[in-house]
Amino acid sequence: MWSGIGRFEKPPGDESRKLDTIMPVTREILPEAKVHPHIADKIANYRKELIDQVKSLIAAHRVVVVGMTQNPFPKRARRLLDSQGVAYEYLGIGSYLSEWRKRLALKMWTGWPTFPMIFIDGVLIGGYEDLVPLADSGELKKILGSPRA
């Protein structure tokens, strides 16, 4: 269940949440019927090459971290993964002052508002603060210790 700002909380009594558990994500998106056909291609193809690059990384690697320079949270996530002995692929996209349009496309695609964006077995798990409980509980090692789904 989503609560607060992007926090995932287990429903009461559910102590076995897995990454492949499907939880409904309710986020309002403008209906296609409310988009003028003249701009439909612009919307559909906005920064498509970057989204395709991230999709390729997700398909090729069990853990992918997408971040940016000058932001301490991608660095913290990478340090945590390194300390856990977890192999990952990192994609850095600009800094606070550059390439924000590229990062905007990823935010629109995922619905996730901040960086890093961490994917495990193709599932967006959130950012650094969402990775910490997975590592602390041992769930991260458990997930990565089993074959990729």
Do the domain assignments include residue 24? Answer: no
Q: What is the CATH number for 101? A: 3.40.30.10
pLDDT tens readout for residues 51-75? 999 999 999 999 999 999 999 999 9
Task: For the chain, give the percent of residues with pLDDT over 70.
Answer: 83
What is the arithmetic mean of pLDDT over 92-108? 93
Number of domain units in the chain: 1
pLDDT at 94 over 60: yes
The range of the structural domain enclosing residue 127 comes to 32-145
Q: b/e string for 1-26 if b means 16 or more Cβ within 10 A?
A: eeeeeeeeeeeeeeeeeebeeeeeee
Do the domain assignments include residue 10? Answer: no
Closest by alpha carbon to 64, among 24, 118, 9?
A: 118
Return the number of other C-beta atoms located less than 10 Å from residue 82's C-beta: 11
pLDDT at 85 over 80: yes
Helix axes 100-110, 48-60, angle to 10 degrees: 60
Do the domain assignments include residue 53? Answer: yes
Residue 3 β-bridge partners = 7
Do the domain assignments include residue 16? Answer: no
HEC secondary structure over the chain: CEECCCEECCCCCCCCCCCCCCCCCCCCCCCHHHCCHHHHHHHHHCCHHHHHHHHHHHHHCCEEEEECCCCHHHHHHHHHHHHCCCCCEEEECCECCECHHHHHHHHHHHCCCCCCEEEECCEEEECHHHHHHHHHHCHHHHHHHCCCC
Do the domain assignments include residue 4? Answer: no
pLDDT tens readout for residues 20-36? 566 667 788 899 999 99
- Predicted confidence band at 2 (pLDDT cuts at 50, 70, 90)? very low
What is the reported pTM?
Answer: 0.81
Q: What is the pLDDT of residue 6?
A: 40
Do the domain assignments include residue 25? Answer: no
Do the domain assignments include residue 17? Answer: no
pLDDT tens readout for residues 113-137? 999 999 999 999 999 999 999 999 9
